[in-house]
Amino acid sequence: MRARGKTKKVLFYDTTLRDGSQAEGISLSSHDKVLIAKRLDQFGIPYIEGGWPGSNPKDMEFFHMIKKAGLRRSKIVAFGSTRRAHMKVKDDAQIKALLEAGTKVVTVFGKSWDMHVTEVFRTALKENLLMIHETVSYLKSRKIEVIYDAEHFFDGFKANPEYALKTLQQAARAGADNITLCDTNGGTLPHEVRHAILRVKRAVKMPLGIHCHNDAELAVANSIQAVGEGCVLVQGTVNGYGERCGNANLISIISDLQFKMGVPCFPSKTMKELTALSHYVAEVCNMPLVNSQPFTGRSAFAHKGGVHINAMVKNAKTYEHLDPKAVGNYRRYLVSELGGKTNIMIKAKELELHFQKDSAETKKILTEIQRLEYEGYQFEAAEASFELLVQKLLGRFKPFFKIEDISVRTENIGNGQPRSVADVKVTAKGKEHFESAEGDGPVNALDSALRKALGRSYPEIEKIHLTDYKVRVVNSEAGTAAKVRVFIEFQDKEKDKTWTTVGVHENIIEASWKALVEAIEYKLHKG
């Protein structure tokens, strides 16, 4: 399906930080949310929904923190509901919280389904119309860009089309800048989306958006159908994260619109960063990216069958619908592990490292990365480890210290008051240092002991601190003997810089130690 008529510019609205964080298994700190927002801004996503101010302290903290992040391309959006029934807008606490967030864009949702009005809000249908109109009107009087999310619109349209359309008309008359139609339960079919939008376009003459959930595995298809019918704002999440079965996957929608429908979304150069964005968000969310995810998954362009590989060597179009380089991914022949230079060059460019794609250095780096990835390493969200790896392989890294001996023990396990103690002996600048330290756990104890031992030779490391620690099982089928992948993030507040390193081992403490040592090495290397 191609977009009908003259192609309009389509804008993307990311709700990973709110809807996406409601997925089972995802718990984002305010700091995590800022990291993702900065990456989305770097990519060029026009709207980033930060959360629901007033619903929890963490979301409000994010809105305060993001003001200092220096975003350049994206607009931060605060999300909330229409006013409560039988209450003045200015007196509603959650409306006050929306204003306190201080964003230039606000999204408010209102009920489109009459059943929800009477059974959830337990109010009259007329009162719901007033709630929509008065809330949107009040926010517009504050010179705020307002996006109105018509919650459960498609189900409401099926049940009572006249009333569902009236709710949209109230938002339009109140001055909403965009009305986004929501398939909140995720059970609508593409032809039903088309039918509803055709009716909506006759009822309201204004920009429309689409927000789909994936309960029937149609969120991407429905979003694309909506764009084909004229919707100009697409809401979704990176990698399709979201409650129940997830939200519409922006990674797939952007790719389908750009490459399949001819809708210009982002410059070709930006599209080559799509895989890196997908993997980065997965790592920050501490969620394993599904290998088979279209476009950006590790297996999206992987070929194993002999017949397939034979054909691919002759012409890549035989078993690929798209050049993987277009989205920053790479082709893999599983029997020989060819390909992968594109990703290396993208990462190297981000780190301001310059070498030729077909040089001996690139081949050497590719071989080592393939070996490490086979062991369980992932470098998409561990730029510091990647940079150190490259510098060491190129012979440009100067060792700052040598680990002579380490030990860590945890005592009193099981009585509710475990005690971890680490001993570290290092040689730095020709002198040997030995230090012990206690910690809340073995990793904390190792961190403290290592920095104490190095502090005499390198006092600058006293200015950094560990800000995040994530663990993921690499090969769960191995049970308790499985390898684990550990990501450690450090921050230098003085230089306003953060960096992440990765370690992999069957022993979680060993994996953590590898990541920890690299984090300190990176700080000393960068100065």
Structural domains in the chain plus CATH codes: 11-266 (3.20.20.70), 356-400+458-527 (3.30.160.340), 403-448 (3.30.160.740)
Contact 21, 27 (CB under 8 A): yes
The residue-averaged pLDDT of 313-321 equals: 87
Residue 358, pLDDT score: 73
Residue 476, pLDDT score: 58
The residue-averaged pLDDT of 454-469 equals: 90
Residues 12-31: pLDDT tens digits? 999 999 999 999 999 999 99
Residue 7, pLDDT score: 55
Report H helices in 272-401. Answer: 274-284, 306-314, 341-350, 360-375, 383-393
Alpha carbon distances (Å) from 208 to 79, 113, 160: 18, 18, 20
Residue 327 has pLDDT above 90, yes or no: yes
Residues 105-139: pLDDT tens digits? 999 999 999 999 999 989 999 999 999 999 999 99
Residue 8 has pLDDT above 90, yes or no: no
Residue 298, pLDDT score: 83
How far apart are alpha carbons 215 and 207 in whole angstroms?
26
Pick the residue with more confidence: 436 or 8?
436
Residue 220 has pLDDT above 90, yes or no: yes
Specify the range with the lowest mean pLDDT, choosing from 151-165, 263-277, 307-321, 495-509: 307-321
Residue 344, pLDDT score: 62
Would you give the distance in Å from CA 511 to the centre of its chain? 24
Residues 349-367: pLDDT tens digits? 666 777 776 778 778 888 8
How far apart are alpha carbons 299 and 451 in whole angstroms?
40
Contact 192, 218 (CB under 8 A): no
Q: Which long-range contacts (CB under 8 A, 24 or more apart) does 494-503 make?
A: 494/463, 498/35, 498/467, 499/383, 499/384, 499/523, 499/526, 500/381, 500/382, 500/383, 500/384, 500/385, 500/468, 501/382, 501/384, 501/385, 501/388, 502/377, 502/378, 502/379, 502/382, 502/385
Residue 29, pLDDT score: 94
Residues 413-445: pLDDT tens digits? 767 677 899 999 999 999 999 999 998 889 999
How far apart are alpha carbons 92 and 94 in whole angstroms?
6
The residue-averaged pLDDT of 372-384 equals: 82
How sure is the predictor about 496, in pLDDT bands with cuts at 50, 70 and 90? confident
How far apart are alpha carbons 302 and 316 in whole angstroms?
12
Name the residue among 470, 426, 422, 471 with its Cα closest to residue 447: 422
Residue 511 has pLDDT above 70, yes or no: yes
Average pLDDT, the chain: 90
Residues 86-102: pLDDT tens digits? 999 999 999 999 999 99
Pick the residue with more confidence: 336 or 202?
202
Pick the residue with more confidence: 478 or 525?
525
Tokens of 399: 């060792």
Residues 245-256: pLDDT tens digits? 999 999 999 999
Q: State the virtual CA torsion across 511, 514, 515, 521 in degrees, nearest 10.
A: 180
Residues 40-96: pLDDT tens digits? 999 999 999 999 998 888 899 999 999 999 999 999 999 999 999 999 999 999 999
Cβ-proximal residues to 64 (8 Å cutoff; 6+ apart), any chain: none
Alpha carbon distances (Å) from 39 to 69, 71, 273, 280, 495: 11, 10, 11, 8, 19
How sure is the predictor about 336, in pLDDT bands with cuts at 50, 70 and 90? very low
pTM, whole model, 2 decimals? 0.71
DSSP state, 294? T
Specify the range with the lowest mean pLDDT, choosing from 58-62, 190-194, 360-364, 496-500: 360-364
